[in-house]
Structure 1
Amino acid sequence: MAERPEAWERQPGESAAAWEAFACYRDLGLSRSISKVADTLRKARTLVERWSTAHQWVIRAESWDREQDRLWRAERQQASRDVARRHARLASAAQAKIVAQLQRLDPSRLSPSDVIRWLEATVRIERQAYGIDLAEAVTTSGSPDIPDVSELSDEERRARMEQLRRELESRIGTLGGESQ
């Protein structure tokens, strides 16, 4: 048994001239009209109207529009997935370079404000990774999530920075292992 053609394809019993007129109508998009088809093909408007009625152009053109919309959405979704994959690969490569730099970082050379900036950045990244609303992200002023390092001695700050570096390396290592 022969398959029925899609609504926007040539239909059984549709003459070549009627098919050409429908294809013209279909391809006009949202500005389509019987008059435009008649003018474009230099056919009598009454003839084009008869073809349109006999071959259900309006319904077929709507099917075409829906199919084009479906294809466009699928293409956009695929493009979005491709972009996300590409960005993830770039982020992973950048993270590897950052981790290499972190391993060479001498905590004793960091000021308290450097420590706070590093901590804020890592907290923000971690919250984003877990989908925590960034509006809830911590700030440096009075946040219970960030200790007040101004009261710590240099030795205590260095120890805290070393602890944070180890935690960050551990977390990055865990995240890196999950993506493989």
Structure 2
Amino acid sequence: MDSQADAWERQTGESAAAWEAFACYRDLGLSRSISKVAANLNKARSVLERWSTSHQWVLRAEAYDREQDRLWRAERHQAARDIARRHARLASAAQAKLVARLQHLDPDRLSPSDVIRWLEATIRIERQAYSIDQIEATATASGAAVDAPDVAQLTDEERRARMEQLRRELETRLTDSETAS
């Protein structure tokens, strides 16, 4: 094979007809065969077998398949990162709106469970966007301690206290972000 060109590209000394036949073979994907190339190009199977051997079609097609798989995985990985970033931005925006609304609401007029549900929803979305639950699961499996309180197990009084604590934390964060802006 040509050390200058990728295996799936035209090789030095490969005729145009042999290259066309290989490209047809390569592009057939996992169902490729010399018989299919012969039928598609109306060429003698014996000529194609000779070209296949002399130009290492099987190895070149395997290299092409590996490269296509690598490109596909890279594309999926990038798409997943883009989606995670977008979801994190949306969750942050929703949290900012919730913080703004909380600053103008009288906590005594809110149901503690309603506020906690909204907050839990935005936190869950953000955690999913950054795969935090997976990271924590890995840490737990490796023996590391993870501090994740179960809000559902709290009494109404404990929820009110937790809500007030979260409200103060959110106000502090909002004030800090406004100061930084």
- Cα deviation, residue 167, structure 1: 3.1
Q: Tell me the residue number matched to 2:28.
A: 28
2:150 to 121, 135, 138: 138
2:168 to 160, 163, 166: 166
Equivalent AA in structure 2 for residue 138 of structure 1: D
Q: Tell me the residue number matched to 1:44.
A: 44
Gaps of 5+ in 2: 138-147
Q: Tell me the residue number matched to 2:109.
A: 109
Q: Tell me the residue number matched to 1:92.
A: 92
Alpha-carbon distance in 2 for matches of 1:160, 1:32: 63
Q: Tell me the residue number matched to 1:61.
A: 61
Gaps of 5+ in 1: 151-156
- Cα deviation, residue 38, structure 1: 0.5
SS at match of 2:7: coil
Q: Please give the TM-score of this superposition, normalised by the length of structure 2.
A: 0.73
Equivalent AA in structure 1 for residue 38 of structure 2: A
> Which of the pair is proportionally richer in helix?
2
1:149 to 140, 151, 157: 157
1:118 to 115, 118, 123: 115
Instruction: Using CA pairs under 8 Å that are at least 6 residues apart, name the structure with larger relative contact order, 1 or 2.
Output: 2
- Cα deviation, residue 138, structure 1: 1.6
Alpha-carbon distance in 1 for matches of 2:93, 2:34: 57
Alpha-carbon distance in 1 for matches of 2:69, 2:162: 56
- Cα deviation, residue 84, structure 1: 1.1
Alpha-carbon distance in 1 for matches of 2:93, 2:65: 42
Q: Please give the TM-score of this superposition, normalised by the length of structure 1.
A: 0.74
Q: Number of matched residues? A: 160
CA contact under 8 A between 2:38 and 2:48: conserved in structure 1? yes
Equivalent AA in structure 2 for residue 87 of structure 1: H
Alpha-carbon distance in 2 for matches of 1:48, 1:100: 71
1:104-148 deviations in Å (ceiling 9; x for gaps): 1112213xxx21443465467389486456xx76254xx3xx345
Q: Tell me the residue number matched to 1:153.
A: none
CA contact under 8 A between 1:123 and 1:138: conserved in structure 2? no
Could you say which structure has the larger radius of gyration? Answer: 1
Q: Tell me the residue number matched to 2:143.
A: none
User: Which segment drifts farther, 19-28 or 165-174?
Assistant: 165-174
Alpha-carbon distance in 2 for matches of 1:82, 1:6: 30
Residues 59 and 80 (structure 1), Cα distance of their counterparts in 2 relative to 1, 3 Å cut: same
CA contact under 8 A between 2:116 and 2:163: conserved in structure 1? no
Identity %, equivalent residues: 63
CA contact under 8 A between 1:120 and 1:139: conserved in structure 2? no
Q: Tell me the residue number matched to 2:144.
A: none
CA contact under 8 A between 2:112 and 2:156: conserved in structure 1? no
- Cα deviation, residue 88, structure 1: 1.4
